[in-house]
Amino acid sequence: MNRFAELLDRLAYEPGRNNKLRLLAGYFREVGDPDRGYALAALTGALSFKHAKPALIRDLIASRTDEVLFGLSYDYVGDLSETVALMWPRAALAAHNNPPPPTLTEVVTTLRTLGKTELPKQLERWLDELDETGRWALLKLVTGALRIGISARLAKTAAAALGDKDPHEVELIWPGLSPPYLDLFAWLEGRGEKPVNRDPAPFRPVMLAHAIEDGDFASLDPADYVAEWKWDGIRVQAVAGRDERGQITPRLYSRTGEDITGSFPDLVPSLRLPGAIDGELLILREGRVQSFNVLQQRLNRKVVSLRLIKEFPIHLRAYDLLGDDENDLRELPFAERRERLETFVAKLGDPRIDLSPTVDFASWDALTAARADPASAGAGADADAVEGVMLKRRDAPYLPGRPKGPWWKWKRDPHIIDAVLMYAQRGHGKRSSYYSDYTFGVWTETENGDELVPVGKAYFGFTDEELLQIDRFVRRNTTEKFGPVRHVVHEGDKGLVLEVAFEGLQRSPRHRSGVAMRFPRISRLRWDKPPREADRLETLERMLKADESLPTIKVAGSADGH
Amino acid sequence: MRPQDILLPTADGLCCRPGKFHIDPIRPVERAVITHGHSDHARAGHGAVLATQETLDMMRLRYGENFAGSTQTISYGEEIRLGDTSVKFHPAGHVLGSAQIAVTCNGTCIVASGDYKDAPDPTCVPFELVPCDVFITEATFGLPVFRHGDAADEVNKLLASVALFPERAHLVGAYSLGKAQRVIALLRQAGYDAPIYLHGAMESITHYYQSRGIDLGELRPVMGVKKAALAGTITLAPPSATSDIWTRRFPDPVTAFASGWMRVRARARQRGIELPLVISDHADWDGLTATITATGAGEIWVTHGQEDALVHWCKSRGLRAQPLDLVGYGEEEESETPVQGEAEA
């Protein structure tokens, strides 16, 4: 476990992809089975055991340390697992006769079978046996929060490098493999046959798009691209395959490969032709696509009742075909896949599955117009569920991951206002000890003349360098402290103006200003602008009126289709 | 006599009225008694300065010959009468020449420990425990999450990385006064005998250490060395330089930072550090609490750093404790601008 922890620790700090690969490959080479297999599983998110709740970790540390000291430490470090790992008091055991620290295999296999009541004691034993880094990794693992900037793809690529194999090959057989991947490592090291994927309906890792920026267009030729609407739904992969007896196995996957077939039994009968469709899950009522808010009411339900199915009829809007019966189409150019898709959907002839239409455009100006007004550019009544356009290169194969260039997403323009920083609070996690959560306000007329009224909170959008600058500004311009919150100077000629971008506005009786922003983020620091020149509440009121005639745009954190 | 009649925090720094002097004053005063050479403690412009030979030399190096009206050298263990008080210097183990200052007046002894550490350091005289009535302790790492471990292990981590990435340069951020020389000495203790490269800003202070008989092996200025020749080497630089365009002269550098702050991952990540090395010249939580207990002092004054936690701990042990409201320390180190709130450490 300590060796695995050491790897995680180093990976967490290493920004370079190639260096990460070297560290990973070095680990796979150095560490034997089955530890390395469980490490690969941990890094690819393939481990399954019941995760420990943060409350359990809090109880453990409370039993060993002073409550006030823990509180101050947690406030400083900002991460529960790390705080506990660092301040866990060394066990009072004698130096000799200490059990050796657990191996990763021991931890993983024990967690799989351990009863809930036995977990606290077991964790305590392990925490006593491990060092600081080991404790940190253990706590991250058991709480299911192992985020260290490694994609599953990167971990598989490092494994593939062990046998000089193409990572794509590992990717193709991956859905049929399970931890600790003895067969995979045997093949990679030339000691065994290539494992065969016997899953009749495997998940294919998805291809993702980059957000396009103004500067990107100059180097792109409209003729090279096909445009589609970007639907405000959920990206899914609908796969059907024949098992050994020739029976069709239908399966619906989320963009991360999670099997969500059970949540959409109403779509299953439509997946009767062997193939793999990449598309958007939507709710259709009387042929019209409903907003994401409507779709959301159908998601994350434990029980899918008949009523739910009837009220929220599910629909798949197809935009790519990755497999057609036995044929893997991913190497084909998009234009060819699109043709195959059209044939496939026509052959299927199912009302629940239709084609996502392409958007005709001859120039970027034409596309800009279509994006601004999807209703008159072909989306018609479905325009409410369009959140932008997608651009796909005609000649691009289907590449897992987020390659830059072949696919772009172009969302609708966000709103922008200039607001004044009013309060700041220290962040958590990476931002601990930095003032990184900002409450900002705009001017409004009151009995006492113009005053700032808070209109929102933002905690991202700025660069690391800007974070440092704001943090410094906050510390030097604090007028009052209330616990973790600092009042920052905000007067007509003293204060910091923040350019805030957001996706939409809503009326909100809970906010003093009467409006709430969706997805606000800091887009620029306006050191040049005196606070008195920041925007006024009236500006937001105007935007709100304009917004109310627009479709609902989804909130931060919701599933992003592309 | 109450302890606060002997030493009192003022806007100028810690003031001793019966002795008519200030300890580590942050503004020019008539008579200053200085614990050590870091710029937040040793400032220019005082009338008279009392400090160890090394501290005075470091001030001269930084501020020039005329940094004070007059100077007086004092050795560890030496006692001097100042006004109605007697003042004695004891090693603080922080950096070369660093001292704790024991002030005794009417039978009450207060020790102002400045910055200190109880961990071994090949570049300075070890910390000496001074029994006293009131102990003034720093609290830079005054939280139980700060446990520094063995600095030799951290240096081994650096050497392991040099072995894993022989084609990359390793750039170690370290405060120019004290930390840099300690890291070099630790590398030599670990058996690393290749030349070690220095950023220009730390050459003179490092040479001063060598002139005081501290063996640091072969050192070379990094200036003018060809990029390719720096593959597989180790260079020491001020922390601010490691994120500067200055680093472009190195082949794919691995950025390390030797500091107690590196114990907390967010700190390392915010600075873009790839190889955090937990090496501190300040006492860690265990060191602070052990030292406080061992002084036998019944009253503890806690200054610069995480005062709250340490005051709470003292009180829970039945000691009288209060935060000492001193400003101006731990906020700057030489010409560097560390991340706000992050002291030289």
The reported pLDDT for the residue numbered A354 is: 96
Residue of chain A with shortest Cα separation from B168:
A19
Same-domain pairing of B157 and B38: no
What angle do helix axes A17-30 and B151-164 make, rounded to 10 degrees? 100
More confident residue, B21 or A459: B21
A308 within 8 A of A298, measured Cβ to Cβ: yes
CA dist A106 and B1 (Å) reads: 63
Domain that holds residue B234: 151-277
Share of chain A above pLDDT 90, in %: 48
Same-domain pairing of B157 and B260: yes
Nearest to A475 among B147, B149, B341 (CB): B341
Residues of B with CB under 8 A from a CB of A: 143-147, 149, 164-165, 252, 263-270, 272-276, 306, 308-309, 312-313, 316, 339-341
A78 within 8 A of B266, measured Cβ to Cβ: yes
Q: Which residues pair with A306 in a beta bridge?
A: none
- Test the A interface: residue of B167, B255, B264, B310 with most A CBs within 10 Å: B264
3-state DSSP assignment of residue B160? helix
Radius of gyration of chain A (CA): 27
Same-domain pairing of A392 and A447: no
Assigned token pair, B333: 């180190």
Residue B134 belongs to domain with CATH number: 3.60.15.10
* pLDDT grade for A87, boundaries at 50, 70 and 90: very high
Same-domain pairing of A258 and A393: yes
Domain boundary among A126, A142, A158: A142
- Test the B interface: residue of A64, A76, A476 with most B CBs within 10 Å: A76
Distance from CA of A78 to the nearest CA of B (A): 8
Domain boundary among A361, A396, A411: A411
* pLDDT grade for B245, boundaries at 50, 70 and 90: confident
Residue A544 belongs to domain with CATH number: 2.40.50.140
Domain boundary among B214, B242, B277: B277
* Residue B285 vs residues B140, B174, B289, B293, B302: alpha-carbon distances, Å: 9, 21, 6, 12, 13
* Residue A55 vs residues A61, A93, A150, A155, B250: alpha-carbon distances, Å: 10, 26, 27, 31, 46
Same-domain pairing of B138 and B183: no
The reported pLDDT for the residue numbered A340 is: 97
Nearest to B275 among A13, A72, A475 (CB): A13
Please state the rounded mean pLDDT for residues A441-462: 88
Distance from CA of A14 to the nearest CA of B (A): 5
Q: Is B342 part of a structural domain of the chain?
A: no
Running DSSP on this structure, what letter comes out for residue B162? H
* pLDDT grade for A532, boundaries at 50, 70 and 90: confident
Closest alpha carbon to B280 in B345, B338, B331, B336: B345
Chain A residues close to B275, C-beta within 8 Å: 10, 13
The reported pLDDT for the residue numbered A93 is: 54
Same-domain pairing of B161 and B66: no
- Test the B interface: residue of A7, A29, A73, A428 with most B CBs within 10 Å: A73
Q: Is A118 part of a structural domain of the chain?
A: yes
Distance from CA of A420 to the nearest CA of B (A): 22
Same-domain pairing of A291 and A392: yes
With 0-12 / 13-18 / 19 or more C-beta atoms within 10 angstroms meaning exposed / middle / buried, residue A246 is: exposed
CA dist B6 and A444 (Å) reads: 54
Beta carbons of A86 and B316 less than 8 Å apart: no
Residue partners of A305: CB distance under 8 A and separation at least 6: none
Same-domain pairing of A375 and A508: no
Same-domain pairing of B118 and B230: no
Residue A285 belongs to domain with CATH number: 3.30.470.30
Is the per-residue pLDDT at A518 higher than 90? no
CA dist A273 and A347 (Å) reads: 9
Same-domain pairing of A446 and A532: yes
Same-domain pairing of A401 and A282: yes
Please state the rounded mean pLDDT for residues A20-36: 93
The reported pLDDT for the residue numbered B343 is: 46
Nearest to B143 among A73, A472, A475 (CB): A73
Same-domain pairing of B33 and B68: yes
Same-domain pairing of A337 and A426: no
Same-domain pairing of B11 and B136: yes
Residue B216 belongs to domain with CATH number: 3.40.50
Q: Is B160 part of a structural domain of the chain?
A: yes
A275 within 8 A of A240, measured Cβ to Cβ: yes
Q: Is A438 part of a structural domain of the chain?
A: yes
Same-domain pairing of A519 and A540: yes
Q: Is A151 part of a structural domain of the chain?
A: no
Strand order, beta sheet including B254-258: B219-221, B196-198, B234-237, B170-173, B254-258, B275-277
Please state the rounded mean pLDDT for residues A209-219: 82
Domain boundary among B277, B292, B307: B277
Mean pLDDT of chain B: 92
Q: Is A58 part of a structural domain of the chain?
A: yes
Distance from CA of A28 to the nearest CA of B (A): 15
Same-domain pairing of B106 and B234: no
Closest alpha carbon to B277 in B195, B172, B184: B172
Residue of chain A with shortest Cα separation from B167:
A19
Domain boundary among B219, B252, B277: B277
Closest alpha carbon to B264 in A3, A471, A83: A83
Q: Residue A121 CB: number of other CB atoms within 10 A?
A: 11
CA dist B114 and B124 (Å) reads: 15
Q: Is B141 part of a structural domain of the chain?
A: yes
Same-domain pairing of B192 and B79: no
Q: Is B338 part of a structural domain of the chain?
A: no
For B289-317, the pLDDT digits (tens) are: 999 999 999 999 999 888 899 999 999 99
Same-domain pairing of B34 and B129: yes
Q: Is B40 part of a structural domain of the chain?
A: yes
Q: Which residues pair with A323 in a beta bridge?
A: A276, A328
DSSP A268-315: GGG--SSEEEEEEEEEEETTEEPPHHHHHTTTT-SS--HHHHHHS-EE
Same-domain pairing of A329 and A450: no
DSSP A183-234: HHHHHHTTSSPPPP---SS---PPB--EEP-GGGGGG--GGGEEEEEEESSE
Q: Is A246 part of a structural domain of the chain?
A: yes
Is the per-residue pLDDT at B338 higher than 50? no
Distance from CA of A72 to the nearest CA of B (A): 7
Distance from CA of A66 to the nearest CA of B (A): 9
More confident residue, B192 or B343: B192
For B202-236, the pLDDT digits (tens) are: 999 999 999 999 999 999 999 999 999 999 999 99
Mean pLDDT of chain A: 87
Nearest to A12 among B144, B145, B265 (CB): B265
CA dist A284 and A217 (Å) reads: 34
Chain A residues close to B145, C-beta within 8 Å: 73, 76-77, 82-83, 86-87
Beta carbons of B143 and A72 less than 8 Å apart: yes
Vertex A154: Cα angle to A149 and A155 (nearest 5): 95
Total structural domains within chain B? 2
Q: Is B336 part of a structural domain of the chain?
A: no
For A375-404, the pLDDT digits (tens) are: 888 888 888 788 889 999 999 999 887 788
Q: Is A164 part of a structural domain of the chain?
A: no
Assigned token pair, B287: 């060191």
CA dist B321 and A117 (Å) reads: 42
Chain B residues close to A469, C-beta within 8 Å: none
Lowest mean pLDDT among A7-11, A275-279, B77-81, B130-134: A7-11
Assigned token pair, A519: 């997805």
Domain that holds residue A427: 415-548
Same-domain pairing of B15 and B126: yes
Residue of chain B with shortest Cα separation from A428:
B266
Is the per-residue pLDDT at A515 higher than 80? yes
Same-domain pairing of B14 and B133: yes
Same-domain pairing of A439 and A544: yes
Q: Is A215 part of a structural domain of the chain?
A: yes
CA dist B229 and B333 (Å) reads: 31
Same-domain pairing of A327 and A436: no
For A227-262, the pLDDT digits (tens) are: 999 998 889 999 999 988 889 999 999 887 778 898
Chain A residues close to B164, C-beta within 8 Å: 22-23, 26
Nearest to B309 among A16, A23, A72 (CB): A72
Same-domain pairing of A220 and A358: yes
